[in-house]
Each structure stands twice: as structure tokens, then as C-alpha cells.
């Protein structure tokens, strides 16, 4: 796949400033509900201005800083929570991700995209934790640029930083960035059967092998068969890893 040369001309034009006060209470209530349900951090940013409009109060992954401190420090302050290598990785994620979206994705499909990356963020105790960061556009400018985007952070199942991906949630097709070759390579979302998804849903609730069989009215042997198929598709070796990866990739 040939790489496309790209210039950051989109940053030349001034975009209208958004603040948290511009967000409706109904929208903020929805974000706060997701914070409680998923135990995740959310940030709303303006990518081209490098400003943060909203930062979750649930900041256990964000260096122990308050949401106000992170919001006021903006994108630069957020970068301080990453190690040197991951700062460079996030720069690749941002620049190459926008390059791909603006040169290869039709405007009418951009609000259906998610872009994700695994990075190490400094936690409350100063240690670095592997985090899965997912970004999705919230609002487009008239020219199709991303004016506001929502970022979600939660613990990652990955052992290493990287895994830069862009997924079209409507089609289930996406691309992954090969950093060594500086290319986007196509891939399709892993598809699980209804029974395989049911096993993961129940396993996420803590059911063991015997309980899975009883709940689904199948034998433990059949559960093992489906579980092995799940492991092969997701390329994992335990049900805990399978649940984490399936959740992370939006499969369940």
C-alpha cells in the first residue's frame, strides 16, 4: 500500500473555540453515566487546537492530577503523563490518523470511525499503566475536519504500546498502522458467532465452565469447544484475555 505524502494545512484556519460550557447538561450527564458504568476516563478534545474541552473526574489513570489541572494544561500537559517513546507514538497516532481520515475516508463516514492505540500513562502512584485509548469524532466542521472528538481510556489487555488502528464501525473494516513500514494495512474486525459472544458475556459476569453450560443448556464439553474457537479467533490463551480483547475491540 503506497503511503500518501501529507501536509498539516488544516491547522492554518482558525476554528471556533469550544468550552465545557458549550456542552449541554444532557450530553454531560450521558458522559458521566458512561464513566460510572465503564469505570473509564473520558476526554473531549479539539484536535486541531490541541485543547481539552472536558476531562473526567474519574482520573485514577491520569497521574493523580485533578480533571481541572489536566484540562487547563491542555494537550501538552496530557503528554507529560506519557514516557518518551509513547509521546512519539501518540504523535504518530495523531498525525498519521488525521492524514488517513482526511485523505481516504469520505466525509459522510467520518462520524462512524474509531481510532485506537495502546500507550502507557502515569497513574496515581507514579507507575505507568498500559491503557487502551479510543477516539471517535463528535462533531465535524463544514469542511469535514474533526472539530471535537471523544477519547476514552481504560486498562489495556496489550503488553506493549502501539496497535494503532482505525475502524469503520458500520462496515467492520479498518486499517492498522505498520510503524516499521510507515504504511496502513487493511484488516477486518473479528467476527464471533452468537453462541461465542454469549459465552464471553457470561464469562464477563464471572461464570465458570460448569455454570456456563448450565446457563446455556449445553454440556461442558460443548462449552470447551466454543471457548477454544474463541481463543483461536482472538489469538488468546485464557478466557480472561478473551473477554478483555473482545471488549477492547468492541466485539462485545
Residue ranges and CATH numbers for the domains of the chain are 9-188 (3.30.450.20), 194-248 (1.10.10.10)
User: What is the pLDDT averaged over residues 97-112?
Assistant: 95
Q: What is the pLDDT of residue 60?
A: 61
| Average confidence score pLDDT of the chain | 84
Q: What is the pLDDT of residue 59?
A: 63
pLDDT > 70? residue 35: yes
User: What is the pLDDT averaged over residues 181-203?
Assistant: 91
Q: What is the pLDDT of residue 101?
A: 96
Give the C-alpha separation, 251 to 230, whole Å.
Answer: 12
Q: What is the pLDDT of residue 18?
A: 47
pLDDT > 90? residue 199: yes
pLDDT > 60? residue 109: yes
98 in Cβ contact with 91 (< 8 Å):
no
Tens of pLDDT, residue by residue over 123-167, are 777 788 888 899 999 999 999 999 999 999 888 878 889 999 999
User: What is the pLDDT averaged over residues 25-52?
Assistant: 86
User: What is the pLDDT averaged over residues 212-216?
Assistant: 93
pLDDT > 80? residue 13: no
pLDDT > 60? residue 102: yes
Q: What is the pLDDT of residue 247?
A: 79
Tens of pLDDT, residue by residue over 52-89, are 999 888 666 667 778 888 888 888 888 888 888 899 99
* C-beta pairs of 47-50 under 8 Å, 24+ apart in sequence: 47/94, 47/98, 47/146, 47/149, 48/10, 48/11, 48/15, 48/145, 48/146, 48/147, 49/15, 49/17, 50/74, 50/75, 50/76
User: Does the reported pTM lie above 0.85?
Assistant: no
User: What is the pLDDT averaged over residues 111-133?
Assistant: 88
Amino acid at each position: 500500500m503506497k503511503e500518501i505524502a501529507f501536509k498539516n494545512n488544516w491547522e492554518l484556519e482558525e476554528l471556533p473555540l469550544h468550552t465545557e460550557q458549550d456542552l449541554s447538561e444532557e450530553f454531560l450527564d450521558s458522559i458521566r453515566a458512561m464513566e460510572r458504568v465503564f469505570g473509564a476516563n473520558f476526554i473531549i478534545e479539539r484536535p486541531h487546537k490541541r485543547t481539552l474541552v472536558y476531562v473526567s473526574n474519574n482520573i485514577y489513570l491520569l497521574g493523580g492530577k485533578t480533571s481541572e489541572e489536566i484540562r487547563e494544561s491542555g494537550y501538552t500537559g496530557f503528554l507529560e503523563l506519557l514516557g518518551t517513546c509513547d509521546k512519539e507514538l501518540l504523535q504518530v497516532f495523531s498525525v498519521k490518523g488525521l492524514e488517513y481520515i482526511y485523505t481516504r475516508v469520505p466525509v459522510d463516514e467520518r462520524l462512524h470511525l474509531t481510532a485506537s492505540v495502546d500507550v502507557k500513562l502515569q497513574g496515581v502512584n507514579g507507575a505507568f499503566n498500559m491503557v487502551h485509548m479510543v477516539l471517535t469524532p463528535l462533531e465535524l466542521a463544514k469542511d469535514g475536519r474533526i472539530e471535537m472528538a471523544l477519547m476514552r481510556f481504560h486498562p489495556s489487555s496489550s503488553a506493549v504500546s502501539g496497535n494503532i488502528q482505525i475502524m469503520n464501525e458500520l462496515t467492520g473494516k479498518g486499517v492498522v498502522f505498520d510503524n516499521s513500514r510507515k504504511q496502513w494495512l487493511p484488516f477486518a474486525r473479528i467476527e464471533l458467532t452468537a453462541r461465542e459472544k454469549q459465552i464471553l458475556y457470561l464469562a464477563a459476569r464471572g461464570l465458570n465452565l460448569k455454570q456456563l453450560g448450565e446457563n446455556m443448556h449445553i454440556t461442558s464439553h460443548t462449552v470447551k469447544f466454543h471457548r477454544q474457537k474463541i481463543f483461536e479467533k482472538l489469538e488468546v490463551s485464557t478466557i480472561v484475555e478473551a473477554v478483555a480483547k473482545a471488549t477492547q475491540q468492541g466485539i462485545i
